[in-house]
Amino acid sequence: MTGVEETMQTVGESSNEPLSVRQPSTTTISSAIEFRSGCIRQCPQVYDFSVTAVVTTPRVTDGGGARTDQAAMRGLLQQLAAILGHRMLWYPEDVAELHRPVLWPAGVGGPRLPLQHWRIRPTAGNVAMWIAGWLGDRLEVWDPNTALVAVELRESPNLAAIVRGVDIEDCRGFPGLTYGL
């Protein structure tokens, strides 16, 4: 025996039939999208973000295909990018928006997401939690057997917020952000 083969043993005798290999019952899908967002200022600042979501979904064995697949996840992330994304504001066409005052509480930091949608400037962790809650709710309605495993919001190569594991369930209906959809 080389260590690769396995044999089934019955009482008192051996069999050379190989053990059946069990196929995994779930599949893992990872999908990411990049979108552009910015701050409302006299001279708009633009930043690129990426959101990566990882889900597990039951493997379909009858050939019918999975309800949640790479294309479906991409569609969800495109909806998310449309929500968080932000068109550029230019002077003088968007003068009213450019001159709208934006006041932040002292000491509040976080990602430079579209400021007109938030009453306070959220932290990267708050935004990632809101994204996890939003995606989790959509996936549950779409396919109750699909589970969100992790979400990453990346603002730059060095700045990312990750939500995973048991924290994802706590993100449902996360109240930290006021821009509800």
Q: Is residue 175 situated within a structural domain?
A: no
* pLDDT given at position 85: 64
* pLDDT given at position 125: 77
* pLDDT given at position 5: 42
Q: Is residue 41 situated within a structural domain?
A: yes
Structural domain harbouring 99: 23-170
Q: How many domains does the chain have?
A: 1
Average pLDDT over residues 165-174: 70
Q: What is the pLDDT of residues 113-157, one digit of tens each?
A: 444 444 444 567 777 888 888 888 888 888 888 888 889 888 767
Q: Is residue 72 situated within a structural domain?
A: yes
Cα separation, 35 vs 51, in Å, equals: 8
* pLDDT given at position 112: 42
* CATH code where residue 110 lies: 3.30.479.10
Report which of 63, 37, 43, 40 is spatially closest to residue 124, judged by C-alpha positions. Answer: 37
Average pLDDT over residues 76-100: 66
